[in-house]
Amino acid sequence: MQNNPYELARSAAAELTARTYEKFDVLLVMGSGWVPAADALGEPEHELAFTELPGFAAPAVEGHGGKARALRVGDKNVLVFLGRTHLYEGHPATDVVHGVRTALAAGVRTVVLTNAAGGLRPETQHIGEPILISDHLNLTGANPLTGTTFLDLTEVYSRRLRGLAKAVDPSLAEGVYAAFRGPTYETPAEIRMLRTLGADLIGMSTVLEAIAAREAGAEVLAISLVTNVAAGLSDALLDHEEVLEAGRAAAGRMGELLRTVVAGL
Q: Could you give the residue numbers annotated as active site?
A: 32, 64, 86, 88-89, 116, 204-205, 228, 240
Distance, CA of 168 to CA of 258 (rounded, Å) = 10
Q: What does residue 85 show for φ and ψ, rounded to 5 degrees?
A: -100, 140
Q: Which helix (H) or strand (E) holds 210?
A: helix 207-215
Q: Where are the alpha helices (DSSP H) in the chain?
A: 5-19, 35-39, 93-96, 98-105, 159-168, 188-197, 207-215, 240-249, 251-263
Distance, CA of 30 to CA of 248 (rounded, Å) = 13
Burial of 227 per CB tally in 10 Å (0-12, 13-18, 19+): buried
Instruction: Pick the closest to residue 255 from 43, 23, 86, 66 (CA basis).
Output: 43
